[in-house]
Structure 1
Amino acid sequence: MIFRKPCSVLIILFAVFNLIFLKKLKYSKTSLILIACIASPILLELLMFWNNDSFAKGLKAIEKSTSLLIFPLFIIGNYHQVNFIKIAKTYVIATTLIMLFFFIRFNIISAELMNKYLNGIHLWEMGYQFADSIGIHAPALNMHLAFVSVCALYFVFDSFRNHEKTRYKIACAIVFLLSFFFVLFVNTRMALMNVLAGFLIVLFCEINSRVNIKNIVLTAVTVVVLVTAIIFFFVQKDPYMKEKYSTTTFAYMDKVGKLDEIDHPEIKVFNSLVTRVSIWKSAWELSVKNLPFGVGASDGKPELNKYYKATNQQFLAKYEFPTHNQFLDFLLKFGILGPLVVFLYIFTIGYLGYDLKNAMILSFFLIFLTSNLTDDFLLRFDGIAFSGLWFSIFGSYWLQQKTTLCKAPAIV
């Protein structure tokens, strides 16, 4: 998921493998509805394809979203063979180990940068430089890592719930601490808030389960102490965090739509909320002008850039900012149907998590929802593939549970 080219190759191989065993696919009315929900963004692109100014660019936009057809068709078509817990556990361990490798690599090949950061110089660039060394945008990387960290905490509780051996419990705890450290190191605001909210969801679900309350409370207290200690240590070593999460984020809010009045806005407000709100204001105004069908999937960003120039917003035009909000992005591209499809796509994940009372799925829903309120991950390959894969796995797990309930004998 983290690396686009290997991920693309694996998706193709996955599709070819499943085509060989096409006869094994089985669908019900419920599973077909679920597949339609997962594939809804690409189905909308196909429905509105006529609205693209460029045939080639329209096809390219669809190509990025093909995993939203491949994953649900083949994963949900084989839903009874999907082991959600095993896949999640493998994903958490593998991703954490991969990040550990790249963190060590970063310390070796970018020793000068690390020394600079350890001395408190240019701390604002640390997470972005690390993400760039891997070849991924920092917010996208931290969206992955936030989910990994929440799942890692779930497996810590799971190890105590199932009375696993001490070595296994320690291993789970180490994976959790490492995964949370990486979230802090990449240090994007939304991911940090999401991961802490995800921890609370896991704690609430565990306490609400009423299974061995004493062990759960002891584990929860230990986790809270460790997380607090890690954050405290990080803030001491990275004093920029205090500034980033307060004054930097909310600075110049009186300059919405007037960023060029700020002296050197690329230094002072490049990643601030005022820049996001200015973008959203422009995207909303342009969207309203192009209702009911929008400007087309391939023309969203070019038309928004033209609007920046037309409204004399030179800073936004210079850096060609995308919408940074998935609901607004789809409103601009597809008109009225756009945000409805985004709502259907994201909130169906929330429904699955709520119906299953599963902390990992609920946390994924929260992470993906909030990430798409401040960014637009359904126009990025990593966000599309990431959500499509896990949405399909969650859907398979939900179908398994529903099938089990239907087959369960009635209690007289």
Structure 2
Amino acid sequence: MLTKIIFLNAAKAQKMKAMFLQNDGLANKISYWHLVLFLLTLSFDGFYSQVVLISFVVHTLIHAKRNDWNNLLRKEVFVLASVFFLTVMCTIYSSNQREAFRLLSRQSAILIFPLVLFLNRIDLRKCTKPLLLAFSFVSVLVVFYLYVDALRIIRYNHLPLSTLIKPAFLNHNFSEPIGMHATYLSLYLALSLASILYYGTSTRRPLIRTLYFFSACVLLVGLIQLESRATLIALLLLLFFVAPFFLKDKKQRGLIGISVLFVAALATVIVFAGSFRTRFLSEMKEDLSENSVATSIADSRMQRWALATDLIKKSPLIGYGAGDEVDLLKEQYFNHKLYDSYLNKLNAHNQYISFLLTGGALALTIYLYTLFWGLRLAVKAKNFLFISFVVLIAVVSVSENILSRNKGIFFYGFFFSLFVCAHCKRKTASVEYESAKQTGNLTVHSYVSIDNV
């Protein structure tokens, strides 16, 4: 017993060093800080994150060993990159080759992330937690910045403070200063909130718990300000139906309390703030209506989905090819007098329908299999944050073409690859631990190797 206590205490100290790769080689340290810098820049102009990604790829190729290349033949790599290969296939018979290659260029990140993370020697088991926390606290700072910018504008124009909850500072208008689509920023904040709640409820230090709680409140307020209905629905599903089944009892109590606070805050805002009530109730009802609303300029999603469904019926098996979605829909919009959608060149705003238009039933099946495969892996590993990521992607895919824009592609490609790669390395470490246990060669490293950070 005493020996085990000594091992566990030593393992805790070893784990703290391992989290920041203090005992690792120089190449792995550089890889780690590349990933940190990538996450720090992800919420801002795409130029910065792309430069960091290119640098990380070059660094990985330079330090890759002969045996490392065998990792690229793993099944996980092909499943993670399946969406990219799907777009390649659909590009062949596209009638708009120019747009198809643009989409292919953007989605190349879905191929690059699994390749580079499985090729790189960095142990993602050790740094998943600090990476997620770095991403989360940057998200908190982003929300702070957006509120400071909004308050600066209100003060400059001598507007009442209540203007902050008016349409001029909600949804896309709130995220506009950093040039991000409100839904994609909401995705970032939702995963950040899940990470902060998960790690915050497990710490025993009062000061750190306070910091986590304050950060969670900031992210929660930011999510409500952004008004992404799909993201908020996904978050409710996570807090009420996922967290109680995949977290320990102590963490359950903390997250259930936060869930109640979240619902109470959201309900209060909807009831007492007219702009939020319009967005979450009236506009949502209009968006799901099949008929045009006389008082609304915008066309409902349901109308666009109905027109897209008519197109799908004409080519249900292979679709129309990559890059053709907007052109096909524009013609339908014009013929059915959806002029707002026509002028703004809107896509289907549904990733599942988008795949049906692009590659038919085959494309949708591959995408659904990828999500199911990821969810099954996450549930089997009892990884709450991995489950949270898959649920967010699956739910938001109902209302957005999440894999058509760089911010959505980077979010999907990086975090999916990160969770899967960390899971694979953790599984390998568990096998090594059991082997060491049976042979009697148990060391402090063996304890650290199976720790789920």
TM-score by length of 2: 0.78
> In 2 relative to 1, CA 239–342 (structure 1 residues): closer, same or farther, beyond 3 Å?
same
> In 2 relative to 1, CA 330–219 (structure 1 residues): closer, same or farther, beyond 3 Å?
closer
> In 2 relative to 1, CA 66–179 (structure 1 residues): closer, same or farther, beyond 3 Å?
same
Distance 1:145 1:251 in 2: 26
CA contact (8 A) 1:117 1:123 kept: no
- Shift, 1:5, TM fit: 2.2
Distance 1:337 1:22 in 2: 35
Distance 1:6 1:94 in 2: 15
- State the secondary structure of the residue aligned to 1:374: coil
- State the secondary structure of the residue aligned to 2:318: coil
> In 2 relative to 1, CA 74–312 (structure 1 residues): closer, same or farther, beyond 3 Å?
same
| RMSD of Structure 2 on Structure 1 (CA) | 2.8
Asked if 1:187 is matched to 2:227, the reply is: yes
Q: Residue 247 of structure 1: which of 279, 282, 286 is its match?
A: 282
Asked if 1:307 is matched to 2:342, the reply is: no
Gaps of 5+ in 2: 1-41, 439-453
Aligned match of 1:40: 82
TM-score by length of 1: 0.86
Distance 1:396 1:113 in 2: 50
CA contact (8 A) 1:157 1:216 kept: yes
Structural mapping, 1:252-267, within 5 Å = 256=290, 258-259=291-292, 262-266=293-297
- Shift, 1:101, TM fit: 2.5
Aligned match of 2:345: 320
Aligned match of 1:136: 180
Distance 2:91 2:330 in 1: 21
- Shift, 1:106, TM fit: 2.8
CA-to-aligned-CA distance 1:110-133 (integer Å, 9 cap, x gap): 546894561587437522211112
> In 2 relative to 1, CA 121–99 (structure 1 residues): closer, same or farther, beyond 3 Å?
closer
> In 2 relative to 1, CA 120–68 (structure 1 residues): closer, same or farther, beyond 3 Å?
closer
Distance 1:382 1:111 in 2: 31
- State the secondary structure of the residue aligned to 1:65: helix
- State the secondary structure of the residue aligned to 1:12: helix
> In 2 relative to 1, CA 335–183 (structure 1 residues): closer, same or farther, beyond 3 Å?
same
> In 2 relative to 1, CA 120–81 (structure 1 residues): closer, same or farther, beyond 3 Å?
closer
- State the secondary structure of the residue aligned to 1:336: helix
Aligned match of 2:393: 368
Asked if 1:196 is matched to 2:226, the reply is: no
Amino acid at match of 1:248: E
Amino acid at match of 2:275: Y
CA-to-aligned-CA distance 1:282-329 (integer Å, 9 cap, x gap): 111112213432222121111111122234443432333211111110
> In 2 relative to 1, CA 181–249 (structure 1 residues): closer, same or farther, beyond 3 Å?
same
Distance 1:111 1:51 in 2: 55
- Shift, 1:58, TM fit: 2.4
Aligned match of 2:162: 118
Distance 1:147 1:90 in 2: 12
- Shift, 1:40, TM fit: 0.9
Aligned match of 1:8: 50
Q: Residue 423 of structure 2: which of 377, 383, 398 is its match?
A: 398
- State the secondary structure of the residue aligned to 1:95: helix
CA contact (8 A) 1:61 1:298 kept: yes
> In 2 relative to 1, CA 305–93 (structure 1 residues): closer, same or farther, beyond 3 Å?
same
Gaps of 5+ in 1: none
Distance 1:373 1:229 in 2: 25
> Where does structure 1 differ by over 6 angstroms across 4 or more consecutive aligned residues?
none
Aligned length in residues: 393
Aligned match of 2:380: 355
Distance 2:123 2:58 in 1: 18
Aligned match of 2:192: 148
- State the secondary structure of the residue aligned to 1:373: coil
Amino acid at match of 2:52: L
CA-to-aligned-CA distance 1:42-97 (integer Å, 9 cap, x gap): 11121222212243332211110111111101112236511212211121112212
Structural mapping, 1:46-195, within 5 Å = 46-78=88-120, 81-82=123-124, 83-111=127-155, 115=159, 118-119=162-163, 122-123=166-167, 126-159=170-203, 163=204, 165-195=205-235
Asked if 1:281 is matched to 2:312, the reply is: no
Aligned match of 2:19: none
- Shift, 1:155, TM fit: 1.4
CA contact (8 A) 1:265 1:315 kept: no
Amino acid at match of 2:318: F
Distance 2:61 2:322 in 1: 29
CA contact (8 A) 2:402 2:409 kept: yes
- Choose 116-125 or 238-247, whichever is displaced more: 116-125
> In 2 relative to 1, CA 328–220 (structure 1 residues): closer, same or farther, beyond 3 Å?
closer
Distance 1:362 1:181 in 2: 23
CA contact (8 A) 1:152 1:179 kept: no
> In 2 relative to 1, CA 237–43 (structure 1 residues): closer, same or farther, beyond 3 Å?
same
CA-to-aligned-CA distance 1:345-392 (integer Å, 9 cap, x gap): 322321221111111111111111010011110111111111100011
> In 2 relative to 1, CA 353–58 (structure 1 residues): closer, same or farther, beyond 3 Å?
same
Distance 2:341 2:114 in 1: 37
Distance 2:166 2:256 in 1: 35
Amino acid at match of 1:405: S
CA contact (8 A) 1:107 1:114 kept: no
